[in-house]
Amino acid sequence: MPAAAESSQTPRFISEVLQEYGAVTQEALKQYLPSGSPRQHLYDLVADYPSRGGKMMRSTLCIATARVFGGHLDDAVGTAVAIELLHNALLIHDDIEDESEERRGRPTLHRLHGVPLALNAGDTLSLLSLKPLIDNVPKIGSRLALKILEETQQMAWESAEGQAMELGWRHDNSNDVSDADYLTMVLKKTCWLGMIYPTRVGALIGTRGTVNLEPFIRFGFFLGSAFQIQDDLLNFVADRRYGKELDGDILEGKRTLMLIHAYRNSPHKHRRRVASILARTREERSLSDVHWIRKLMDDHGSVEYARAIAHGLAGAARHEFEGIFGSRPESRDKEFVRGLVTWVFERC
Partner 1 sequence: MTTRKRRPATKRTAIERVRRPSLDRRGPIRDATNYLRDSDSWTEKAPRDNPRQEGAGEHSSVGSFDDVVTQGVKLGYKVIEQYITQGQRVAEQISRPFQKGVPEAGTADVVHGMVRLYKDMADVWGNALDLMVRNPVFWSWLGSSAQNGVMHPQNGVPGTLNGSGAAFSVEIASPRPTEVMLNVEPSPQPYTPFVHALHAPERNVPPLTSIAFQKSPKSNMPVLLLKIPLKQPSGLYTGVVVDRETNQPRGTLTVRVLPAKR
Touching partner 1, residues 172-231 (CB under 8 A): 172-181, 183-184, 187, 208, 214, 217-218, 221-222, 225
- Stretch near partner 1 under the rule CB under 8 A, chosen from 41-49, 87-95, 304-312, 323-331: 304-312
- Stretch near partner 1 under the rule CB under 8 A, chosen from 19-27, 61-69, 82-90, 170-178: 170-178
Conformation bin of residue 104: beta by default, left when phi > 0, alpha when psi is -120 to 50: left
Binder among 4, 212, 327, 329 for partner 1 (CB under 8 A)? 4
Q: What is the DSSP string of 134-167?
A: HTHHHHH-HHHHHHHHHHHHHHHHHHHHHHHHHH
Closer CB to partner 1, 42 or 96, in the complex:
96
Question: CA-to-CA distance for 244 and 224, rounded, in angstroms?
Answer: 19
Q: Is residue 255 classed as helix, strand or coil in its secondary structure?
A: coil
In whole angstroms, how close is the CB of 328 to partner 1 at the nearest point? Answer: 19
CA 114 to chain centre: 24
- Stretch near partner 1 under the rule CB under 8 A, chosen from 4-12, 89-97, 118-126, 321-329: 4-12
11 touches partner 1 (CB under 8 A): no
| Contact status, residue 178 vs residue 112, Cβ threshold 8 Å | no
240 touches partner 1 (CB under 8 A): yes
298 touches partner 1 (CB under 8 A): yes
77 touches partner 1 (CB under 8 A): no
Residues 310-339 interacting with partner 1 (rule: CB under 8 A): 310-313, 315-316
Q: What is the DSSP string of 58-126?
A: HHHHHHHHHHHTT--HHHHHHHHHHHHHHHHHHHHHHHHHHT--EETTEE-HHHHH-HHHHHHHHHHHH
Question: CA-to-CA distance for 161 and 166, rounded, in angstroms?
Answer: 9
In whole angstroms, how close is the CB of 159 to partner 1 at the nearest point? Answer: 14
300 touches partner 1 (CB under 8 A): yes
**Which residues does residue 103 pair with via DSSP β-bridges, in sequence order?**
106
Binder among 94, 126, 248, 335 for partner 1 (CB under 8 A)? 248
